[in-house]
Amino acid sequence: MTKAEEEFLEQYARSLSVRWADWCIRHGSLPDVDSLTQSEIEAWAKDSTSPMHPTLKAIKELGIHKIYWDFALEQGWLTKKTPRTLTAKGFSVAVNFLKR
């Protein structure tokens, strides 16, 4: 990954943290993304006319993609244990993004 791609990844993940923080405030925790396999997500993406699993609907609404999710976990923005929520550091990232 180039330096420019890494910077984009970080900044986009920061922007997503705002949606994730809002979701945590309203619902208590993030959807159980870890319960879905990548193949389930990809199968739904190929046939988006089929009824959407509630977790998939939340994933779509929250813009969750594995690369951004994994980045947030590595940065300590999400709890390690499920049900996942933003950590204090994750909420700080979201607040700072909003203050820009």
- pLDDT at residue 72 above 90? yes
CA-to-CA distance for 6 and 11, rounded, in angstroms? 9
pLDDT value of residue 39: 74
Any idea which of 3-12, 25-34, 68-77 has the lowest mean pLDDT? Answer: 25-34
CA-to-CA distance for 43 and 93, rounded, in angstroms? 32
Joined together, the tokens standing for residue 37 give 């396999």
| Residues ≥6 apart with Cβ < 8 Å to 67 | 9
If you search the block for the tokens 């809002």, which residue do you land on?
A: 22
- pLDDT at residue 83 above 70? yes
- pLDDT at residue 50 above 80? no
CA-to-CA distance for 97 and 81, rounded, in angstroms? 25
- pLDDT at residue 34 above 90? no
